[in-house]
A and B are shown apart, each in its own frame.
Chain A
Amino acid sequence: MTTVIHQVEDWLAEAGGLLDRRVRLGVTGLSRAGKTVFITSLVHHLLHPSRLKLLSVLAEGRFDAALLQPMPGGSVPRFRYEAVLQDLTGSASHQPRWPDGTKAVSELRLSIRFRSPLAFGLERPNTLHLDIVDYPGEWLLDLPLLTLDYATWSRQAVAQARTGGRARLSAEWLALAEAMPAGGTDEPAIIRTAEAYRAYLNAARNAPERFSMLQPGRFLLPGEMAGAPALTFFPLPNAPDRPERDSLARLMADRFESYKREVAGPFFDHHLKRIDRQVVLVDLLDHLAAGPESLADLKTAIDGTLGAFRHGESSWLSLLFGNRISRVLFAATKADHLPTGDHQPLADLLSALVGDTARNLSYAGARIQSEAIAALRVTRDATIDTSNGRWPGIAGLPLDSDQIEEVLPGTLPRSLDAVTTSGLFVPIGFRPMPSSVRLDQGPPSLRMDRALEFLLGDSLA
């Protein structure tokens, strides 16, 4: 008898689960923007919510607990939360370190149990399922490709490759591509040229300008697709709009289309299409130091990527036509690499950089906010005396050093027009300090609570 009762209770609980809230949070960011650390910090914060002081559900005492759940459906690997946390905390055998770059898609569901306020001080228990996806940032740049045809993309890519700092990196590939006969489909030559194109993309990524607009994304991180025909193509100079049968341009266009159909499209459809909140992580510091060309490239990449998503107010029509992204947080990451006084200027710089896109999103009905955050704070503020005066600086463990150093990153440009390569601003990379992350406590961070309040505050009300 009791088993029957338990069974009925289970059914009822399951039926109640249909009323639970679900939020799919899209953590958008190019490679090295800090997606993995952001997700880990978010999960760790919510599992040990002592430090999210500004999250209203916590401040009002309505938070019960959060729990990691297996993701429904079984085809996507689970996000390696524990492994990343292990990297960040360090162990007896190794120092704390940043996690390695993400190589594949993974997902995680965090269920949050809380109480919704009703009238007259009453409360109702509620559950929010927060679904998060992690993926290689390189792949994000495939999204702008989805709306382009091969000829258009070729023109853009070739024109881009011939400008500024890219010109010297792309010379080898362009020479090979121009030498290819228009009618020939000589596969070894194609493979050679595709390799040269890939080498150019890799070189551009590591160039001092830190180029961001590197397409297609799988060329940088092919995973198990390495060498597949869908990944053996390249933009052609003077690609015709209507290529002839059996021409090189036709072959390239076919492979481009199959790349879109079989690689880029499914990635977007399966993992990113249905998100309803978005955080756009941007690591602005290196780009600010690298100069105007680097920033312009970053802006192109961000604008192109965001264009693929659907933003706006969700309505009852969303039930029919799918969700829209109702809130977008632009987060300048690694704010802890600057003294506190520079945080607001950094957020303002990001606002200015994404200004046009943000206006479009606002017009569509999405809510926008910019914030300078640090998912994991690895420095502390320090006042530093130099021959030049006393300045607010930071102290931390630089990537290339074994002892704590006091650092002045220089003068942060106060507007995009003031960005130069003059060396007035030289940010230094820091790594996590021993014992800064603890397993039983939320990690030290900057404005993660503000970020979460903006992204999830209304879902947790």
Chain B
Amino acid sequence: MSDEPNPPDANGPRPFRRAASTQAPEHNTDRPASRRAAPNPNAYTTADPESDTQDPVQLPASALTSAPRRSWVWRLLLAGFALGGTALAAWLVDSAIASVQVGSVLGLLTAASLALLGMALVALIIGEFVSLARLRSRTKIRVLVEQATTTRDSVQSEKALSALLAIHSRRPALAWALAQYRDAAADIPDAADKLVLYEQLVLGPLDEACVAEIRTIARRAAVLTAFAPNPILDAVFVLWLNLSIVRRVAHVQGLRPGAAASWALLRRTILAMIAAGGMEALGDMMPAAVAGSIIRTVARRVGEGAVNGILTIRIGVAALEACRPMPFAAREKPSVTALARQTVGG
């Protein structure tokens, strides 16, 4: 608290007041130009530089999948396929041109269908790339939100908020939730706290919709398993349902994954399940016990149905975590145990 020889920040604003109605700026030039201390805002933020590097346990599961590496064998194979595809296309075009030159109706039809096919293929590929990019940007947003929540840094939080708004503001179904959020955020001065509100008010309804989907499909999986005529059919059902739960959760979360994005999402979901595995090991004793008691008391098939239902719930919750643009912070992650009890156990 000593008198510093040089003023703290001569670049900063100087005391000033004027009536709100007048627009002419009052000049405050009597102050002698003093030495300019370079403002160093970083020196005063509470943000701990070390807190950017997080506890390895807390790393988002998405980070595990963020840098896919392909070996050279794959690249070679891919190149071979691409070459072959090009050759095939060239041959088709060649023969089509040949048939057009002949001038038959068949030639024209072939050319038209080839053009349509080509356009569809291009659209498909573009779509795949778009949905993959969307998935990737979601991962980036989640990392941004996670950092903003840890540091409570206002600039980062603002960035995270506008990224989230960019995702959700185009969806008419969320207009009401967003209006509620904007209404609530008007009272909140800190962007980091606005993130909390955003999760509660905008992501809350989405979470609930996802949970409803998960419960519907889990119940279907349980029932189908219980009544499936043979084990192979049962396995096919469950596999199909588990694929569809990932797609439906993604759809509710505003992702429309194509084939490649679906595949990436499924991989991510499974990795999220593995990442969560350690934490949930204790919690999983519960569904096992639920299923076990049913096995003993009612019937083996129904017990197997319950087990499959619980598996579906686990995959659904993991998919929700993988698709969500924010980590679960203000809202609790849906508990597999509670969902299992409500859906298949009770």
Interface residues of chain A, those whose CB is within 8 Å of chain B, are 51, 53-54, 59, 119-121, 292, 295-296, 340-341, 343-345, 348, 382, 384-389, 391, 393, 395, 398, 401, 403-411, 413-426, 428, 444-447, 450
Contact = CB atoms under 8 A, between A and B. Distances in A.
State the 4 A-B residue pairs at the shortest beta-carbon distance, nearest first. A411-B12, A292-B1, A418-B8, A410-B15
B339 to A, nearest CB: 10
B16 interface: yes
Interface of B: 1-4, 7-9, 12-21, 25-29, 43-46, 154, 184, 187-190, 193, 196-197, 200, 330, 338, 341-342
Given A393-B16, A411-B9, A426-B15, A54 B188 contact: yes
A420 B3 contact: yes
A406 to B, nearest CB: 5
Given A53-B184, A424-B7, 11 more contacts: A53-B188, A121-B338, A344-B46, A386-B25, A404-B21, A406-B17, A410-B14, A411-B12, A414-B9, A420-B3, A421-B3
A103 to B, nearest CB: 33
Contacts, number: 128
Contact of B15 (A295, A296, A389, A408): A408
A37 B310 CA distance: 53
A425 B4 CA distance: 14
Contacts of B43: 414-415
Given A292-B2, A340-B189, A403 B17 contact: no
Contacts of A53: 184, 187-188, 197
Nearest to A381: B189
Contacts of B8: 411, 413-415, 418, 420, 424
A180 B47 CA distance: 58
Contacts of B154: 341, 344
Contacts of B190: 343-344, 447
B197 A420 contact: no
A119 B335 CA distance: 11
Given A414-B9, A415-B44, A418-B4, A387 B29 contact: yes
B7 A405 contact: no
A419 B189 CA distance: 25
A386 B28 contact: yes
8 contacts: A59-B200, A344-B45, A384-B16, A386-B26, A386-B27, A415-B43, A417-B2, A425-B15
Given A54-B193, A54-B197, A344-B45, A409 B15 contact: yes
A407 B19 CA distance: 9
Contacts of A428: 17
A382 B18 CA distance: 12
Nearest to A421: B3
A404 B188 contact: no
B342 to A, nearest CB: 8
A425 B10 CA distance: 11
A120 B29 CA distance: 67
B44 A447 contact: no
A405 B17 contact: yes
Nearest to A397: B20
Contacts of A292: 1-3
Contacts of A348: 44, 46
